[in-house]
């Protein structure tokens, strides 16, 4: 995996890429000290504009606290020309002396060491609790010392017997308390053993990924170059033959690769050889107040990023996108369960151009979440969810559910407004099921304080045939009939009477649910 990345980028380019992507710490005080012991303070932004300074900063950092030069792990630089420290209040002269004894055993920069001890406490300002001091005596020697530190510490000792000069690289753990990480099929059970040169290349890749993470980039694409993107705000360009990585920090601050895959192509556009248009968002369910929506109906959604954000907002209350890189918490069981089931499918569709199982994922998850909102009487939300669901499914597989709902809904509207002496029948399954949903909604609304919306609606949705539908509606009717305004030939009377007369239609849960959340035709003004 790492070797493939190195092969694409070129070994000769790794250091340059790592330095170019190095990020200065925003809450740090940067102090530049010349040979005359005169200093100047720079902000992180000012510091980052100087490529030479960035290079010094990059090569002067430690790999991790386990590779710290300072045995007390308070000082986080690695050579005699730099002094990095967080939490200055924990420093002592003894710790500083031991650090310079390790990095400068010959005392070449003794004057720098003494200056640090005398002045470090003067630079902690407000929330700037990270101090970085650079002694600009010999920049080339500073970088050379840093490279030597990286090279020597890029390999960890294997807990098992290994050939001389070989060890474990940065992407592997030598923790004997985690025995199942090792690949037992290999000659050396702790994984692929590497020499120092290879380990150094791996460390360069590790540092590149770390800098992307520090910049808020969690999605990495590697072609003949490497680019990082934020899952929350960035839109990658079209690219061919790419490696995609999902990265993050573990609970110890180490970079971890959570997903890795080769993809033949990525494009943010939804228009392709099969689709002349993107998703056309239709107002199938006839929301009366379109201005309440965050999007304009009949507009084209032409790119994946916009569609992803709509799904994230409309269906998952902002929890889907964060779930790509971390566990999310929500009290909504329907969102929680569907993220658990389909998070990887959504990610693959939006970030890898993979259509594998996306229709199934959207079909199952969106209807389940709509059902949950119906149970909670979040009618307006469910209406908008239906519009997005049907629009996307029409784009993906050509199903015409939204238009079928609209046709049946308007037919029902026509029928229940006929004169009471005019005979009519449900035209098809769809009209029947929409009528069932509307009737249940009307009856439950008559006594919201007493009747459990979820209990009765769940019972209707679980019905397997019209006989069960009639039985459950009758039970509900008997509980609220005293609250009804009985009008001979009225709309609710027509709906209920026709439902109770029917035995020939198939139950369709989706249409029942759509009829339930749609604007109630029973209340419509003539």
50: pLDDT strictly greater than 50: yes
- SS3 for 524? coil
pLDDT in tens, 468-508: 999 999 999 999 988 887 777 789 999 999 999 989 999 99
Model pLDDT, residue 178: 41
User: 388 and 417, same structural domain?
Assistant: no
Higher pLDDT, 168 or 443: 443
User: 123 and 23, same structural domain?
Assistant: yes
Q: Are 512 and 436 in contact (CB under 8 A)?
A: yes
In a domain, 238, yes or no: no
Based on its alpha-carbon atoms, the radius of gyration of the chain, rounded to whole angstroms, reads 32
Model pLDDT, residue 1: 83
User: 412 and 388, same structural domain?
Assistant: no
User: 346 and 326, same structural domain?
Assistant: yes
Model pLDDT, residue 176: 41
Confidence of residue 290 (pLDDT cuts 50, 70, 90): low
Which of 338, 373, 393 corresponds to the end of one domain?
A: 393
187: pLDDT strictly greater than 50: no
Confidence of residue 359 (pLDDT cuts 50, 70, 90): very high
Q: How far apart are CA 100 and CA 305, in angstroms?
A: 51
Q: What is the b/e burial string over 79-116, where b = at least 16 CB atoms within 10 angstroms of the residue's CB?
A: bbbbbbbeebeebeeebbebbbebbbeeebbeebbebb
Q: Are 179 and 159 in contact (CB under 8 A)?
A: no
Helices (H), 322-465: 333-352, 358-375, 379-397, 401-416, 429-445, 453-461
Task: Tell me the pairing of strands 239-249 and 219-222.
Answer: antiparallel
182: pLDDT strictly greater than 60: no
Model pLDDT, residue 186: 34
Confidence of residue 212 (pLDDT cuts 50, 70, 90): very high
453: pLDDT strictly greater than 70: yes
Q: Is 398 exposed, middle or buried (0-12, 13-18, 19+ CB in 10 A)?
A: exposed
User: 102 and 81, same structural domain?
Assistant: yes
Q: Are 169 and 202 in contact (CB under 8 A)?
A: yes
179: pLDDT strictly greater than 80: no
Q: How far apart are CA 316 and CA 336, in angstroms?
A: 9
In a domain, 469, yes or no: yes
Both tokens of 194, joined, read 């590497």
User: 388 and 445, same structural domain?
Assistant: no
pTM above 0.75, yes or no: yes
Model pLDDT, residue 184: 34
Residue 522's alpha-carbon distances to 96, 137, 274, 389, 487, in angstroms, are 81, 85, 41, 25, 12
User: 415 and 510, same structural domain?
Assistant: yes
Q: Which domain holds residue 311?
A: 279-351+362-393
Q: Are 80 and 100 in contact (CB under 8 A)?
A: yes
DSSP assignment letter at 149 = H
In a domain, 222, yes or no: no
pLDDT in tens, 86-114: 888 888 999 999 999 999 999 999 999 99
In a domain, 207, yes or no: no
In a domain, 367, yes or no: yes
Quote the number of domains for the chain. Answer: 3
273: pLDDT strictly greater than 80: no
Nearest to 97 by CA among 55, 127, 121, 69: 69
DSSP assignment letter at 510 = H
Helices (H), 77-134: 93-103, 110-119
User: 117 and 55, same structural domain?
Assistant: yes
């Amino acid at each position: 995996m790492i070797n493939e990345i190195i092969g694409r980028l070129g070994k000769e380019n790794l250091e340059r890429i790592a330095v170019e992507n190095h990020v200065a710490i925003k809450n740090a005080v940067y102090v530049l000290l010349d040979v005359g012991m005169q200093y100047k303070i720079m902000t992180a932004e000012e510091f980052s504009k100087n490529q030479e300074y960035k290079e010094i900063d990059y090569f002067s950092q430690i790999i991790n606290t386990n590779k710290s030069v300072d045995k007390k792990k308070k000082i986080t630089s690695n050579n005699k020309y730099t002094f990095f420290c967080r939490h200055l209040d924990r420093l002592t002269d003894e710790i500083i002396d031991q650090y310079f004894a390790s990095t400068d055993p010959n005392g070449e920069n003794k004057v720098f060491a003494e200056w640090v001890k005398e002045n470090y406490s003067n630079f902690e300002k407000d929330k700037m609790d990270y101090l970085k001091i650079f002694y600009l005596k010999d920049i080339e020697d500073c970088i050379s010392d840093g490279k030597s530190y990286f090279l020597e510490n890029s390999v960890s000792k294997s807990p098992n017997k290994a050939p001389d000069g070989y060890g474990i690289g940065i992407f592997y753990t030598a923790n004997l308390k985690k025995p199942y990480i090792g690949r037992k099929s290999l000659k050396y059970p702790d994984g692929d053993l590497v020499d120092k040169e290879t380990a150094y290349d791996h460390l360069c890749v590790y540092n590149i990924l770390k800098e992307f993470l520090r910049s808020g980039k969690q999605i990495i694409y590697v072609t003949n170059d490497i680019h990082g993107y934020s899952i929350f705000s960035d839109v990658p360009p079209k690219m061919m033959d790419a490696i995609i990585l999902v990265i993050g920090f573990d609970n110890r601050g180490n970079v971890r690769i959570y997903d890795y895959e080769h993809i033949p192509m990525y494009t943010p556009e939804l228009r392709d050889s099969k689709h002349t248009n993107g998703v056309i968002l239709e107002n199938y369910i006839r929301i009366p107040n379109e201005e309440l929506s965050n999007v304009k109906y009949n507009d084209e959604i032409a790119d994946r990023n916009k569609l992803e954000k709509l799904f994230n907002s409309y269906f998952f209350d902002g929890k889907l996108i964060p779930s790509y890189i971390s566990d999310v918490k929500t009290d909504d069981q329907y969102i929680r369960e569907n993220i658990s089931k389909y998070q990887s499918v959504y990610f693959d569709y939006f970030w890898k151009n993979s259509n594998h199982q996306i229709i199934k994922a959207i079909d199952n998850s969106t209807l389940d979440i709509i059902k949950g909102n119906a149970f909670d009487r979040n009618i307006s939300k469910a209406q908008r969810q239906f519009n997005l669901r049907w629009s996307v499914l029409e784009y993906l597989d050509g199903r015409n559910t939204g238009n079928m709902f609209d046709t049946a809904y308007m037919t029902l509207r026509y029928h229940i407004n006929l004169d009471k002496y005019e005979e009519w029948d449900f035209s098809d399954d769809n009209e029947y099921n929409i009528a069932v949903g509307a009737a249940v909604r009307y009856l439950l609304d008559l006594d919201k304080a007493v009747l459990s919306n979820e209990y009765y609606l769940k019972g209707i949705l679980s019905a397997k045939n019209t006989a069960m539908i009639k039985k459950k509606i009758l039970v509900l009717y008997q509980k609220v009939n005293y609250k009804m305004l009985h009008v001979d030939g009225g709309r609710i009377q027509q709906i209920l009477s026709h439902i109770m007369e029917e035995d020939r239609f198939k139950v369709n849960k989706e249409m029942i649910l759509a009829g339930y959340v749609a604007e109630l035709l029973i209340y419509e003004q003539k």
